[in-house]
């Protein structure tokens, strides 16, 4: 039997246009709701479908199904206090119940995924949705694990502990994540964000520019900073620098925000597992915009800068603190292109790196 790999690729490309992950597409088919949810509008839909007598929640954004799971968390909580924990728990419980039919199968699945119920059990979670007497809390243990707790007064009703692992939280393996990353970046709508004026009191003048420092990452040379100059003829107004006069600061501005209009083309060399590579081209605003819209926080650091040639070598971390991963980029460009705001940038990209693997990966990049 021969498999048409091009056809398989086309099928999964169509799946990515409709579902965030392959698992969600499989769950929709198992529940026999695929055609019905195709017609749903964007939003959080609770109670339109059920499984084993319990309400399901469907999350859909921009025509794509982002999550399918038991209704555990109220819509109001999701909107007021967003967290990846909601989608994970709701989807995970439903996925286990769809695929594990004996107690030992459930136990083995929880053990394999390192999901621990310190109080309560998996079966009780769908019943918590309708209990308005419960209070709820989430603890993020320094990007390594989450604990989630429901309590009534001082009594803990249910407590879950699970690792902050992107594959687990999303329900997709790394090979799928890598494959989807190219699709998501290339299909991301290119746009520039509105410019938000900085708080003048938070700016620190240094070497002819004004610096807004938003903190460092675990590696102290990686910083989240924006760089400004005073606008001509407008007292007290600051604008982001983007010129060869301030080369390092300007490149940092391009990668730590999507609010400088430009026409840079990025040649991405995506590094994958098993030493595989993939090359494709996008606009800089697509790449940066995708990462920021994913909830990543940018950090920038310089590896080297040759003043004579104008070549700059830098590292950019797009870090998602809630889901404990980052997109790690090695960036190379010529700063002479800053004045025209167009040209070519080369980026070596390693996607969805677990944050506790970052220092090891840095050593590999040297």
Same domain, 282 and 154: no
pLDDT digits (tens, 9 = 90+) for 144-200: 899 999 999 999 999 999 999 999 999 999 999 999 999 999 999 876 677 778 888
Same domain, 260 and 359: yes
46: three-class secondary structure by DSSP? strand
Any domain includes 22 = yes
Any domain includes 64 = yes
Any domain includes 187 = yes
Question: Could you give the number of structural domains in the chain?
Answer: 2
Angle at 175 between CA 167 and CA 358, to 5 degrees: 60
Any domain includes 223 = no
pLDDT given at position 357: 56
The residues pairing with 64 across neighbouring beta strands, listed in sequence order, are 61
- DSSP per-residue string spanning 241-267: --STTSHHHHHHHHHS-S-S--EEEEE
pLDDT given at position 173: 92
Any domain includes 184 = yes
Give the residue from 140, 170, 200 where a domain finishes: 170
d(CA 215, CA 211): 12
Range of the structural domain that residue 250 is part of: 174-191+241-365
Same domain, 16 and 159: yes
Give the residue from 170, 200, 218 where a domain finishes: 170
Same domain, 162 and 277: no
The two three-digit tokens of residue 191, written as one number: 């746009």
pLDDT digits (tens, 9 = 90+) for 273-331: 878 899 999 999 999 999 999 999 999 999 999 999 999 999 999 999 999 999 999 99
Give the residue from 122, 141, 170 where a domain finishes: 170
Confidence bin at 219 (pLDDT 50/70/90) = confident
Same domain, 303 and 161: no
CB 238 within 8 A of CB 228: yes
Any domain includes 226 = no
What average pLDDT does the chain have?
90
Strands 238-240 and 223-230 turn out to be antiparallel
Same domain, 180 and 82: no
Same domain, 245 and 137: no
Same domain, 251 and 360: yes
Same domain, 140 and 245: no
Same domain, 16 and 146: yes
Any domain includes 196 = no
CB 342 within 8 A of CB 262: yes
d(CA 111, CA 328): 31
The burial class, CB within 10 Å (0-12 / 13-18 / 19+), for 334 is middle
Same domain, 31 and 65: yes
Any domain includes 273 = yes
């Amino acid at each position: 039997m021969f498999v048409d790999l091009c056809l398989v690729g086309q099928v999964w490309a169509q799946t990515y246009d409709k579902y965030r992950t392959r698992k969600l597409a499989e769950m929709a088919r198992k529940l026999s709701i695929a055609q019905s949810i195709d017609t749903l509008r964007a939003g959080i839909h609770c109670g339109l479908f059920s499984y084993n007598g319990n309400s399901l929640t469907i999350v859909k954004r921009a025509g794509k199904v982002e999550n399918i799971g038991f209704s555990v968390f109220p819509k109001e909580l999701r909107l007021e206090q967003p967290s990846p924990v909601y989608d994970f728990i709701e989807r995970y419980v439903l996925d286990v119940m769809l695929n594990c039919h004996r107690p030992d199968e459930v136990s083995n699945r929880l053990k394999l995924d390192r999901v621990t119920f310190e109080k309560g059990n998996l079966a009780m979670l769908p019943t918590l949705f309708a209990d308005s007497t419960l209070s709820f809390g989430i603890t993020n243990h320094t990007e390594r694990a989450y604990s989630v707790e429901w309590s009534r007064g001082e009594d803990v009703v249910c407590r879950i502990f699970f690792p902050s692992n992107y594959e687990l939280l999303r329900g997709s393996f790394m090979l799928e994540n890598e494959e989807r990353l190219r699709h998501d970046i290339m299909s991301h709508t290119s746009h520039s964000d509105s410019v938000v004026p900085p708080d003048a009191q938070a700016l620190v003048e240094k070497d002819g520019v004004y610096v807004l420092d938003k903190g460092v990452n675990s590696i102290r040379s990686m910083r989240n900073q924006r760089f400004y100059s005073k606008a001509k003829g407008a007292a007290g107004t600051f604008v982001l620098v983007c010129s060869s006069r301030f080369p390092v600061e300007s490149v940092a501005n391009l990668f730590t925000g999507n609010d400088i209009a430009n026409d840079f083309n990025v040649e991405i060399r995506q590094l994958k597992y098993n030493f595989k590579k993939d090359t494709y081209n996008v606009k800089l605003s697509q790449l940066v915009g995708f990462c920021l819209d994913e909830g990543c926080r940018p950090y920038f650091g310089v590896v080297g800068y040759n003043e004579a040639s104008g070549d700059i070598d830098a590292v950019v971390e797009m870090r998602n603190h809630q889901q404990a991963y980052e997109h790690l980029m090695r960036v190379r460009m010529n700063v002479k292109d800053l004045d025209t705001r167009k040209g070519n940038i080369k980026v070596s990209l390693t996607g969805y790196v677990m944050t506790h693997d970052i220092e090891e990966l840095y050593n590999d990049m040297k």
